[in-house]
Amino acid sequence: MESLKVSDANMVVYVHPSKSNNIYDAILRELSSMLFKFHENFDGVMLAYEFNILDKNARILNGMHPYIAVKLKAKLLLFSPKPNMLLEGKVVKITQGSIHVVVLGFSSAVITDEDIRDEFVHKIKHGEELFCSKFHKRHVIKVGSMIQFLVKSMDEDVLHISGSLVPENTGSLHWLANHLEGFRVNDSVKKRKKNEEASVLQDPGSSVSGEALSINNEHRIKKSKGKRRKTES
């Protein structure tokens, strides 16, 4: 999927001194609170992470409520859909004027009738609403179908996507894989690019100074709560 990318990030996580006896758990809680939210610094929604502590001597920041600043080197899996990207999702609802989709199990998308190409006609069969192609009887979109659609826009606050089925390379993944020349379901996976530019997550205006706190545990932490979607073939 074009919207998925892996990014290397240099981060600073701030931990309350009361958590100094268990720095790793505190870092995990902090990073976990960032999952499934859009972050401008990373230009995407964090789905999973893996990190290493860079400096074994964390610094306690001066102030009335001092915090321990821990520098991390992290690898982030980000969901960053942009206009004209192709996304894949599961249809969860169909009405006469819209198709509702869930992407990666957490982000909702809607495709309204103005963005559904004329090839598709709304029908009701055996009490089930669906869209059928006028030219290809087996090209059907119904609840449960995996579809490929084009991104028009995304509301970053609520992670809601506006999509389109106007291009010819959009529609049921199963039908496209079997009938569209040169189409492969996992082509988009091969196009994933690693973002080589490091992102920095810092509290603006703060600086690292003061007493050093030694961190002795050299354990590597991997945390992933993103839902993995099985690619249909």
CA-to-CA dists, residue 21 to 56, 64, 69, angstroms: 14, 20, 14
The structural domains of the chain, with segments of one domain joined by +, span 4-79, 85-175
- The string over 197-222, giving b where at least 16 C-beta atoms fall within 10 Å of a residue's C-beta and e elsewhere, is eebebeeeeeeeeeeebebeeeeebe
Q: Roughly how many angstroms between the first and final C-alpha of the chain, as a whole number?
A: 14
pLDDT band at 196 (very low <50, low <70, confident <90, very high): very low
Gyration radius of the chain over CA positions: 22
Residue 97: the pLDDT is 94
The highest-level CATH class for domain 85-175 is mainly beta
Query: Is residue 4 pLDDT above 70, yes or no?
Result: yes
Judge whether 72 and 54 are in contact, CB under 8 Å. Answer: yes
Specify the CATH architecture of the domain 4-79.
Answer: 2-Layer Sandwich (3.30)
Query: Is residue 70 pLDDT above 60, yes or no?
Result: yes
Average predicted confidence (pLDDT) for the chain: 79
Rounded to whole angstroms, how far apart are CA atoms 23 and 106?
30
Q: Which residues contact 220 (CB under 8 A, 6 or more apart)?
A: 50, 52
Question: pTM value?
Answer: 0.71
Q: Tokens standing for 50?
A: 């893996």
What is the pLDDT averaged over residues 162-187? 82
Which amino acid appears at position 64 of this protein? Answer: M
SS3 21: helix
Rounded to whole angstroms, how far apart are CA atoms 111 and 88?
13
> What is the DSSP secondary structure assignment for residue 28, as one 8-state letter?
H
Q: Tokens standing for 199?
A: 């992102």
Residue 59: the pLDDT is 65
